[in-house]
């Protein structure tokens, strides 16, 4: 596993489905590159994704909101795309279920092989301005509320704070 201070998303953008492997922590600090990766691949017409969580040390609500956003985008396609969260593990599965993502994407909590591409290319996360970062975090949390209305009570303070911050800039 990668050093937890240096989380890495390894991808195989040419496989079908596209495979993304998380090594380390997935958080607000590195969610922008996975957000951009999803957007770019979907614009290219890619509609099938698998995220391998086997080496994911932890994740936060911003990362899960980015995943929710990708899932929402893929659902709108005709025909709908797919997003599978593979080898999620007990703790991460609990987070996924608590936020309602299991109703939006396919979750495979087992230890079975993902059987697809071999992710070997590390995504490069470019620095974003403070305002762009705040917008991404806001959008991610809005995605979580769209996914499950019960998330509004969980994130109302965060949403209020971020909306104020984004509007002030």
pLDDT tens-digit profile of 99-133? 999 999 999 876 655 555 667 788 888 888 889 99
3-state secondary structure at position 9: strand
pLDDT on residue 8: 86
The phi, psi pair for 96, rounded to 5°, reads: -60, -45
CA contacts within 13 A on the Cβ side of 49: 28
Q: The whole model's pTM is what?
A: 0.90
List the beta bridge partners of residue 18.
49
Tokens of 67: 């995943």
pLDDT on residue 123: 86
pLDDT on residue 3: 43
Distance CA 39, CA 8 (A): 18
77, 105, 72, 7 alpha-carbon torsion, rounded to 10°? -120
Domains of the chain as residue ranges with CATH: 8-127 (3.30.750.24)
- pLDDT tens by residue, 47-63: 999 999 999 999 999 99
- pLDDT tens by residue, 76-104: 999 999 999 999 988 899 999 999 999 99
Long-range Cβ pairs for the range 90-97 (8 Å, 24+): 91/58, 92/53, 92/56, 92/58, 92/59, 95/59, 95/64, 96/64
């Amino acid at each position: 596993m990668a050093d937890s201070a240096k989380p890495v998303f390894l991808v195989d953008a040419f496989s079908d489905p596209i495979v993304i492997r998380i090594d380390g922590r997935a958080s607000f600090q590195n969610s922008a590159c996975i957000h951009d990766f999803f957007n770019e691949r979907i614009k290219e017409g890619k509609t099938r994704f698998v995220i391998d969580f086997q080496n994911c040390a932890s994740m936060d609500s911003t990362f899960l909101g980015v995943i929710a956003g990708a899932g929402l985008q893929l659902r709108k396609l005709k025909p709908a795309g797919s997003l599978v969260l593979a080898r999620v593990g007990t703790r991460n599965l609990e987070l996924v279920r608590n936020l309602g993502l299991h109703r939006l994407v396919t979750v495979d909590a087992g230890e079975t092989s993902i059987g697809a591409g071999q992710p070997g290319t590390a995504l490069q996360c470019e620095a974003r301005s403070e305002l762009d970062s705040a917008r991404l975090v806001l959008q991610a949390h809005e995605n979580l509320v769209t996914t499950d209305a019960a998330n509004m009570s969980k994130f109302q303070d965060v949403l209020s704070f971020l909306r104020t911050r984004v509007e002030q800039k």
